[in-house]
Amino acid sequence: ALSTDGEDGPAPAPPSSPPPPYRQPAAPVAVGVLMPAAPAQPPAAHQPSTQSPSMQEPCTFSTLVDAYILTIGLGLFGGHWFYLGRPRWGLLYLCTAGLLGVGWAIDILRVPHLVHRAQTSFGDEPNGDADLGDLWVLTLCPLTGLVLGAPHWRLGRARWAAMHVLTVGFLGIGWALDILRMPCLVHDYNAAARLRRNAAALSGEDVETGPPRHSTLLASAKA
């Protein structure tokens, strides 16, 4: 007979512990082999702001209202351009009475676009992308588009600009065609500028200022 006090009976089995979790073996590391360290990233160069102090603030209703007031009140003298941080256009309007009133009338309709562009992109940088609205304003004004060929000067087409000056916009026919084909001219200019900037970034060289030339575009395409 088994004892009831538990001294002669079998000892209870210990509780079973769960199996240890599976761990994937580490990859063997060769002794004496040093792993190359990641190259240190150079600190980003500080880009000076090209915006006017008023345009460094976020776009608000009051900013838009101020731009409208300056455009309507002092637009013929380029007041809104100075406010938007684009003094070259301001001087142009000051000397030509708002491009004979044509540019002033168009700017009243595109004030929101001008404010947005002043806060998100460069102003009058010579190497910046051309704005289609700006080029259309220069083209529609008879003084700058027909007589002076200003859109072609802006797009780096010096020969076409000189021919416009000597022939009064090819007797008006070339001026009319420029109004229709201006989107294509601006697209080609901006595409060439991007190619040049990308090529300069890959080679580590500084992007030269001024409008892109056709030779630069061909050299970038061959590279």
138-161: b (≥16 Cβ within 10 Å) or e: bbbbbebbbebbbbbbbbbbeebb
Provide the pLDDT for residue 221: 41
Burial of 180 (0-12, 13-18, 19+ CB in 10 A): exposed
Provide the pLDDT for residue 18: 64
Provide the pLDDT for residue 123: 55
Contacts of 125 (CB under 8 A, 6+ apart): 50
Provide the pLDDT for residue 23: 66
Provide the pLDDT for residue 70: 94
Provide the pLDDT for residue 20: 65
Tokens 């007589």 locate to: 147
Q: Is the pLDDT of residue 179 over 90?
A: yes
Q: Is the pLDDT of residue 24 over 70?
A: no
Q: How confident is the model at residue 35 (pLDDT cuts 50, 70, 90)?
A: low
Q: Is the pLDDT of residue 27 over 70?
A: no
Provide the pLDDT for residue 220: 42
Q: What is the mean pLDDT of the segment spanning 69-79?
A: 94
